[in-house]
Structure 1
Amino acid sequence: MNESYSNASASASASASSSSSLNSSFQDTEDDQTIASILGEEENSKLNGRLGKRLSHLDSIPHTPRVNGEIPDVNDATLDHERLFERLVTYGLAELQMEGDGNCQFRALADQLFRNPDYHKHVRKQVIKQLKHFRKLYESYVPMKYKIYLKQMKKLGEWGDHLTLQAAADRFGAKICLVTSFRDTCYIEILPKDNNPTRELWLSFWSEVHYNSLYGSGDVPTRVARKKHWLF
C-alpha cells in the first residue's frame, strides 16, 4: 500500500485526471479489504483457536517460502495421501474438498477467510498485489525472473505455492496452519512477517498435489450457494 503516484511533469489537467483514477483504484482496494474483513470476521471469531488446541503439542518447523516442487509419481502420491488422511483422523480434522482446477489453494484460503471458496479470484488478486507491492520481501525465493513469476501466478488455474501462502498470511494478517502429507513434517505454521496474526486459517496439503480447507470432524459445512458481493 506504499505506492507513489505523483508525476511532476504532467499538465494540471492530466494530473487531476490521473489522480482521480488512481485514487479510485486505491479506494477499490481498500473497499475490497473492508468487505473481506466483514465477510470473514464473524465466522473466524467463532472458530479461531479451536483447531489449534488439537495440535498444540506439535512443533512447527520454520517456514521457508518456495515455489512448487516436482509432482510425485502415483505410488508416492498414494502413500502421501494415506499419510495425510491418517493424520487428519488422528487429530479429529476433516476436509472440505476443493475443486481440482488449479485454484485449490486459493479456494481453500477463500473458504477459510469468507466461508465461500468461490471468492478464490479475489484472494488470488490480493496475493498478487502483495507480491507486487512488496517485491523485496519475496523475490529472493523465486528461481526465475520475478515479473514472469507474477505474470504466471496471476492466471486462473496456476497452482499456488508456499510463497503465495506467505503472501496471503501477510496480506490478510493471518496465521496459516498447514497439516501436510510430508513424511517428516506433519504441521507447518505460516506467520505474517510484520504483524501479529488476527485469525487462523486451516488447510490440508497433499504435497505437491492438492489443498483443502480444514474443519473439526463433524463441523464441515454443507456447501451452499451464497450471495456474492463485489469482490471481483
Structure 2
Amino acid sequence: MSENLRNGSGSSSSSLSSSFHDTEDDQTIANMLAEDETRNAGNRQLGKRLSHLDSIPHAPRVNGEIPDVNDATLDHETLSERLVTYGLSELQMEGDGNCQFRALADQLFHNPEYHKHVRRQVIKQLKNHKTLYEAYVPMEYKSYIKKMKKSGEWGDHVTLQAAADRFEAKICLVTSFRDTCYIEILPTKKNPKRELWLSFWSEVHYNSLYTSGDVPSRLPKKKYWLF
C-alpha cells in the first residue's frame, strides 16, 4: 500500500513538473515572439517582392518519396533560379532531419538551434487540436505524433500547418515545384501576426530565406544539404 502511495506521489510530482515546464516554455516563447517586431517588419518588406505571385491553396500532406538524383538536381536548379529572380538568399540549415524546424526556429527566434522548442510546440498543437489535422494523416494519428516527436524526423506540410496555427504565422514557401513557385500557409482560425519565409527543395530540404545581402552570419555546425 505504501509503495502504491509512493508511486502515485512520484507520478503526480512528475506530471506537475512536466506541466510547469510546458507553461514556462510557452511563456518564454511568447515573450521572445512579442519582442520581435523588427524582424516582422523586415519579413513584410520581403513579402512585397512576391506580392504579384498567385499562391496555390495549401493542402497539408505528409512527405512523398525522395526524388532520384537527376530529379533532385533539376529541382535544386529550379529553386536556385527562382531565388535569384526574386532577390532572395538562403541561410543553409543542417541536413540532420530537423531542417524544417531549424528553418522555422531561425525565422522565429534568429537561432536554428531552437528547433527542439519549435518541434515541441508543433507536437503540442497536433495533440491539442486533433480534429484539424487527423484527416490529412494517412496512418493512425497517435503513431504519427509519436513518430514526429523524434528528433531527426522530417517535418511535412501537416507540421507546417500546425506551426502556422501555433505561432499565428503566415508561412511563405518559395518552392522547387514545377507547377508553382510560391505557397502561402495561413493559420486556420486566426489572422497571422507574423510572416516566416522558407525555401523548400521538394521532398529534400528546407532553408531559411532572406533578402539577398541580408543573410546573417549564423553558420551550421554540421554538414547541410547542398549540391
Taking structure 2 as the reference length, the TM-score comes to 0.87
1:36 aligned partner, one-letter code: I
| Deviations 1:99-157 (CA, angstroms, capped at 9, x unpaired) | 00000000000000000000000100110111011111111111111111111101110
**Residue of 147, 152, 167 corresponding to 1:157:** 152
* Identical-residue share of aligned pairs (%): 75
**Residue of 133, 141, 144 corresponding to 1:138:** 133
CA distance in 1: counterparts of 2:219 and 2:203, whole angstroms: 28
Tell me, yes or no, if the aligned pair for 1:44 and 1:200 is still in contact at 8 Å: no
Structure 2 runs not aligned, ≥5 long: 221-227
Distance 1:185 1:32, change over 3 A: same
CA distance in 2: counterparts of 1:196 and 1:83, whole angstroms: 32
CA distance in 2: counterparts of 1:31 and 1:91, whole angstroms: 40
**Residue of 9, 21, 39 corresponding to 1:28:** 21
The answer for the alignment partner of 1:96 in structure 2 is 91
CA distance in 1: counterparts of 2:21 and 2:169, whole angstroms: 22
CA distance in 2: counterparts of 1:34 and 1:112, whole angstroms: 18
| Deviations 1:199-226 (CA, angstroms, capped at 9, x unpaired) | 000000000100000000000001179x
1:78 positional shift: 0.5
Tell me, yes or no, if the aligned pair for 1:130 and 1:167 is still in contact at 8 Å: yes
CA distance in 1: counterparts of 2:171 and 2:40, whole angstroms: 15
The answer for the alignment partner of 2:225 in structure 1 is none
Tell me, yes or no, if the aligned pair for 1:96 and 1:214 is still in contact at 8 Å: yes
Partner secondary structure for residue 80 of structure 1:
helix
**Residue of 8, 33, 37 corresponding to 2:30:** 37
**Residue of 71, 74, 80 corresponding to 1:85:** 80
Residues 100-179 of structure 1 mapped to structure 2, 5 A cutoff:
100-179=95-174
After superposition, the CA RMSD in angstroms is 2.0
| Deviations 1:179-199 (CA, angstroms, capped at 9, x unpaired) | 000001100000010110000
CA distance in 1: counterparts of 2:81 and 2:110, whole angstroms: 25
Q: How many residues align?
A: 211
Partner secondary structure for residue 87 of structure 1:
helix
Q: Where do 4+ consecutive residues of structure 1 move more than 6 Å? A: none
2:173 aligned partner, one-letter code: L
CA distance in 1: counterparts of 2:39 and 2:30, whole angstroms: 10
Partner secondary structure for residue 48 of structure 1:
helix
Taking structure 1 as the reference length, the TM-score comes to 0.85
1:29 positional shift: 2.6
1:39 positional shift: 2.5
1:58 positional shift: 0.4
The answer for the alignment partner of 1:194 in structure 2 is 189
| Deviations 1:54-92 (CA, angstroms, capped at 9, x unpaired) | 000001111000000011111110110000000000001
In the alignment, is residue 60 of structure 1 matched against residue 78 of structure 2?
no
